[in-house]
Structure 1
């Protein structure tokens, strides 16, 4: 049986924000943690801060050659993967420096530039699935493995179709709907892998102040990382569930699809 000292995790987009906090918690929990970062130097700086058995790996989830190199690197060093945390995401592909309100206004379904929409979905949906597909072989080599994907309650169709939800106006066609698509893809994967040695879970960090929202979120990165860290460290959660901060849903922290 694996112990934490020989469990191997990869966290994408782990050099900052929620991903950094997840990687730090896993390292403190005894995992060997690969810090996935598009910029290798930023990844190395994060690994230096985390310490423990943390390692840096260059990984751009929209680049197939980068993904292949990362798989080969982890396979040669570790031979398997116990946990894949899909955290890397972007919120927009437009002009930088805009407020969250300006971004949301430009990403309404009636006006959203299709090329910008494709760019965001390329990372949040297609890139995330591409990484997952590429690492399935190494996940299958572990005695038991998990895939934890950081999504958003903003992608919940149930919540956004409720007129009483005060946040439904933030459900845009670019970022919000990309999380809806992500949820659907990974629920499909959870159904496919049901009964196998791999569990699939989705988790929402809540409205966390990160670069995704121009640091305008209401929760600190430490607060927003609490539920993703809980899910990343929990090995007995049922396959195929979507959870979020307790104030989202009450019992069991379940977020409705």
Structure 2
């Protein structure tokens, strides 16, 4: 049975991603900053008959919490097949580039960028034990530098500086990580779940949570002939599913 760790998995897209992977036969570790919320989320899945799931406390903003989660997981499994870096924040709004508080920049980067790096580096040893390891970085279409500079793009006017910069940085890290692991069985990709109605955006997005999670799941389940170092986005590239960086 394949194993997967999902950060920020007690609600919304992370939670639905867990549900869908459970239905595919994965054993899911629900990464949650608040363990009680994680336990509640796991109990919801248990009530649906999805038993191969348990919460793991992990706050991606705190290296000590990440290391503690690694020790916890190491006591449960020798192999991690999939890491889904889903936890993310948008930070206080609005975020004009000349006026946004530098502390908001730091806070958003801590979760969306530095947290991803720390989690990935901390769990890479367990991932290396998998015959087909997968890393999925949940990003945003707003992180595309190409589209952010294209006046014809539908979201061209949406430019929250802290959030956009953090996701662009995450995309860059995805590229260099995929390159570093190019001669291994790893598949490392960035996935834009697309503009989805969640708490994250006060439920203003037109997309559904199940559809968003399905995009993440698809990247998590790539076969050995699947791509690596790609930026998947149905919103930005509906024909090909591959967004420009």
Rounded to whole Å, the distance in 1 between the matches of 2:4 and 2:12 is 17
Look up the match of 1:70. 69
Look up the match of 1:198. 186
How far does residue 248 in structure 1 lie from its aligned partner after superposition? 2.8
Rounded to whole Å, the distance in 2 between the matches of 1:7 and 1:40 is 23
How far does residue 223 in structure 1 lie from its aligned partner after superposition? 2.8
1:177-216, aligned counterparts within 5 Å? Answer: 177-216=165-204
Look up the match of 2:84. 85
CA contact (8 A) 1:62 1:127 kept: yes
Look up the match of 1:113. 101
- TM-score of the aligned structures, taking structure 1 as reference length: 0.90
Alignment gaps of 5+ in structure 2? none
Alignment gaps of 5+ in structure 1? 1-5, 95-102
How far does residue 185 in structure 1 lie from its aligned partner after superposition? 1.0
Work out whether 1:238 is the aligned partner of 2:227: yes
The alignment of Structure 1 onto Structure 2 pairs a total of residues equal to 240
How far does residue 233 in structure 1 lie from its aligned partner after superposition? 2.6
Higher fraction of helix: 1
1:17-28, aligned counterparts within 5 Å? Answer: 17-28=12-23
Look up the match of 2:60. 61
Measured on the aligned residues, the alpha-carbon RMSD in Å equals: 1.3
- TM-score of the aligned structures, taking structure 2 as reference length: 0.94
Look up the match of 2:28. 33
Look up the match of 1:154. 142
Work out whether 1:8 is the aligned partner of 2:8: no
How far does residue 165 in structure 1 lie from its aligned partner after superposition? 1.1
CA contact (8 A) 2:20 2:214 kept: no
Rounded to whole Å, the distance in 2 between the matches of 1:209 and 1:250 is 19
